[in-house]
Amino acid sequence: MGYIMDMRKLVGKRAIFMPAAGAAIINENNEILLQRRTDNKCWGIPGGSMELGETFEETAVREVKEETGLDVNRLELFNIFSGEDLHYVYPNGDEVYITTAVFLCNDYSGDLRRDEEESLELRFFKLNDIPVESDLNPPDRVIISKLKDYLVRR
């Protein structure tokens, strides 16, 4: 059981701050890896909440490994996201205000495999084939939009 779940036992459904991290995995074809989540059936970047004592980088590395089976070998900070765009109420009613560090990664290894508890599907998308906004995980919408703009320009 993780820190956020432990906090939920204490505070119930009230809004809490949730530090998190994720990684935009970019392959050699400039495609981005997205995960279709089990909780809301929407696409987002691999990532999740921070555990006590972790750095943002350690959180991203752990979450990517858990959710995709991939080992990230080098992370580059893309941006830190917070505010109303990252306010979210999960399908189970848990309310969070997320602060997340998002990293870029094009140096990774391992075999792509999904965590069946958290992911329905993993897929690399061409930038012009990224799912429409309504199919994106709400907290990831602004992140994916900024990632797409960045990747198109580079």
Task: Report the predicted TM-score, pTM, of the whole model to 2 decimal places.
Answer: 0.94
Per-residue pLDDT at 13 = 85
Per-residue pLDDT at 154 = 83
Residue type, 62: R
Report the domain count for the chain: 1
Per-residue pLDDT at 1 = 55
Per-residue pLDDT at 99 = 98
Nearest to 48 by CA among 110, 15, 5: 5
Q: What are the DSSP E strand ranges found in 26-152? A: 32-37, 43-44, 47-49, 71-81, 87-89, 95-109, 119-125
In degrees and rounded to multiples of 5, residue 19 shows phi and psi of: -70, 140
* CATH number of the domain enclosing 115: 3.90.79.10
Domain that holds residue 26: 3-153
Residues with a known catalytic role: 121
- Mean pLDDT per segment of 10 residues, for the chain of length 154 residues? 85 93 97 96 97 97 97 96 96 95 97 93 97 97 96 88
Residue 152: its H or E element: helix 141-153
